Amino acid sequence: MTTELEAFSYDDAIVRKFLWATFVWGLVGMLVGLLIAVLLARPELTAGLPWLSFGRLRPLHTNAVIFAFAGNAFFTGAYYSTQRLLKTRMFSDRLSNIHFWGWQLIIVAAALTLPLGFTQAKEYAELEWPIDIAIAVVWVIFAVNFFGTIARRRERHLYVAIWFYIASIVTVALLHIFNNLSIPAGPLKSYSIYAGVQDAFMQWWYGHNAVAFFLTTPFLGLMYYFLPKAADRPVFSYRLSILHFWTIVFLYIWAGPHHLHYTALPEWASTLGMLFSVMLWMPSWGGMINGLLTLRGAWKKVVEDPILKFFVVAVTAYGMATFEGPMLSVKSVNALAHYTDWIIAHVHTGALGWNGFLTFGMIYWLAPRLFQTKLHSIKLAEWHFWLATFGMILYATAIYSAGLTQGLMWRAFDETGRLQFPDFIETTMKLMPMYWVRAAGGTMYLVGMVMLGYNVFRTWRSRPARYDVPELKAPALARVYVEPAGHAAPAPAGALARFSRAAWHRTWERLPITFTVMVVLAVVVASLFEIIPTFLIRSNVPTIASVMPYTPLELAGRDLYIKEGCFNCHSQMIRPLRHETERYGEYSKPGEFVYDHPYLWGSRRIGPDLAREGGKYPDLWHVRHMENPRAITPKSIMPAYAWMLTNRLDFEGIQPRVDAMAMLGVPYGDAVRRAPAMAREQARGVAASILSQGGPKGLDDKEIVALVAYLQRLGKDLHAAPPAVAHTGPGGN
């Protein structure tokens, strides 16, 4: 064979950059996590600072650990393994660096805007529209760089890890763009183009698949590369890994609606979500078994090597979390677990165990190779492993018990048929000891992270003066695929044999574009079948004549509710379960949310549901409660929002918001011309009512009146008299 050899080298500088970023942001994200864990038990620690309150920091924690920590970890591993699996340097060093700095800038922007209250109020998609655009741009740059690398590869077959990367890159782009479609109402304010049920559906199509394609498939790719590397043996079954890939691509995308059981979502949609979630159990466990069996005959190594220990726990945690996921999607289990800490425990099994441990193992494996020296201390890594493992177990035990406890208390009836714990706060107080154990577990995990940083830092310190960049040689990839001589099969006996020999699939594998198109097709088709009916079949969202848009003042109040992150602790969705209707009132109907851009159903009840809050308490009650919740409910863990009584409401800023809403089809009528005046008028009324109840004077231009107006409106429209002039609802939007 007379193939000419080409010389090339790998770009490890970019991998080193991403590795440091992974550590730094991981530390920040976990620190914020610990802070908000403590705030749940000691809310007064915020010292009255708005940007320290739970509602604003919780999205910072989730975004930091998902997109900054796990994201950078994925990039670290992907940049390292892609070059080696494809036997080529990255397509463009410049694009690699733009990707790196762009991504870090986005994280900094998130870390600044979220505590300041700029949020879209959609979980894991909180970042406002300019940052969303930046994310899309940087992601496309990453994709160009990645696919360019594939095009220049010198290896015929694309290893399965690359498939997982491809699926992650294209699907995340799709999810991100469609879930974040919104109409800007200011430089850092926008409204989702979807409303109510449809917005919820989009959000959890996104939310669930973000877990799938940002936290699962990228890390499976890493697992299929780094686990064989660390164990120094090939993966147990390559077949199983391919099956694993296709099942995830075919099934995962369908599972989103299980986040919305018993909500106002159509029955068939959530049943479908449940069915697919249960089917997901198979590939997930296939993957776990594949990972664990790769270590067959190498268990002795596991005893000695902390890296393999990290991988074993990571793969096991993946198995646990993916067993639990389908279980939680079964409606009857979900009825108990939804809105409780059980879900928090579930995601932390995944995040701490799967993503965290896989990342740690990968970093310990990479550090000596990237810094071209020995790891500073294997013993310290061993300590990190045990500390993090026990921290995680403490965390999980405490929070699983907390979830179960609260879920059971919410639904408990006494022998007279009344709620056994009608006071919500009783169920909260029960959790306090568990919250402290959680904080202890989280601290251990965080200390482990610091140990990792120290270990990597010391390893870096003993690096050589100049990194050695070995020059490699390999022939270029031929344009046309030639069946290897050794592979020449006997003449095909029939169509099935030809099919199963599957030259067609090999053709895909050589043409990443075609392969990518197939993945996109699978994802898009599944998504369309899942989403279209909710959007276009009117009977799925019946119109309720008495449901009217929020007044300009209420809209401003709703935006304050969003800004302070109230939805992080309060749901607005009463499920048709007896204990819920008993506790909160009539269950929520799909038609009640047609003007809710974005929807605010929430996903966790740290405080009670607010869907029927309107009219439950006098205006003054809300003022006092926001000023200091503990003045009303002595043991409340809600942060105080005293600044709302002094901050002036931006009346003029209401007009662009009303206009944006009107653009989305909300029938605002007269308000598109005189929103501020209408808001001022209503504000005077609310302030007067507060004053007449014995409250403070001079609130009529303060934020609190807008919030009170909004809260007093919640859930009232259902039984309000229909408007005299019948208006046509926006229907399907």
CB 608 within 8 A of CB 715: no
CB of 230 to other proteins, least distance (A): 10
Token output for 504: 């067609």
Nearer to other proteins, 101 or 499 (CB): 499
702 forms beta bridges with: 648
- CB-CB contact of 705 with 699 (8 Å): yes
One-letter-per-residue 3-state SS of 209-245: HHHHHHHHHHHHHHHHHHHHHHHCCCCCCHHHHHHHH
Closest CB 154 distance from other proteins, rounded Å? 5
Place of tokens 């909004």: 710
**C-alpha separations of 85 from 149, 221, 246 in Å:** 11, 12, 20
What is the nearest approach in angstroms of other proteins to the Cβ of residue 269? Answer: 8
> Which residues make beta-bridge pairs with 475?
5
Q: 3-state SS string over 95-108?
A: HHHHHHHHHHHHHH
Taking the CB of residue 2, how many other CB atoms lie within 10 A of it? 4
* Residue 243 vs 378, nearer CB to other proteins: 243
Q: Cβ distance 703 to 648 under 8 Å?
A: yes
**Residue 633: in which H helix or E strand, if any?**
none
Q: How far out from the chain centre does Cα 632 lie? A: 34
Task: Give the residue with the Cβ less far from other proteins, 222 or 566.
Answer: 222
Closest separation in Å from C-beta 90 to other proteins: 15
Q: Report whether 567 contacts 125 (CB < 8 A).
A: no
Residue closer to other proteins by CB (options 195, 522) is 522
Least distance from other proteins to the Cβ atom of residue 524, Å: 12
**Nearer Cβ to other proteins (228/442):** 228
Name the residue nearer to other proteins (CB basis): 130 or 730: 730
Q: How far apart are CA 67 and CA 71, in angstroms?
A: 5
569: Cβ contacts below 8 Å, ≥ 6 apart: 54, 55, 602, 604, 605, 606, 607, 638
For other proteins, the closer CB: 205 or 410: 205
Residues at the contact surface with other proteins, assessed by CB under 8 A? 1, 3, 10, 81, 84-85, 87, 154-157, 159-161, 224-226, 228-229, 232-235, 238-239, 242-243, 246-247, 250-251, 254, 268-269, 272, 275, 472, 474-478, 482-487, 489, 497, 499-502, 505, 522, 525-526, 529-530, 532-533, 535-539, 731-732
CB of 301 to other proteins, least distance (A): 15
Nearest-approach distance from CB 211 to other proteins, in angstroms: 20
CA distance 219 to 226: 10
Give the pair of three-digit tokens for residue 184: 């800007």
Taking the least distance from each CB to other proteins, the nearer of 268 and 299 is: 268
CB of 225 to other proteins, least distance (A): 5
Return the number of the residue (500 or 646) whose C-beta is nearest other proteins.
Answer: 500
Least distance to other proteins, CB of residue 77, Å: 12
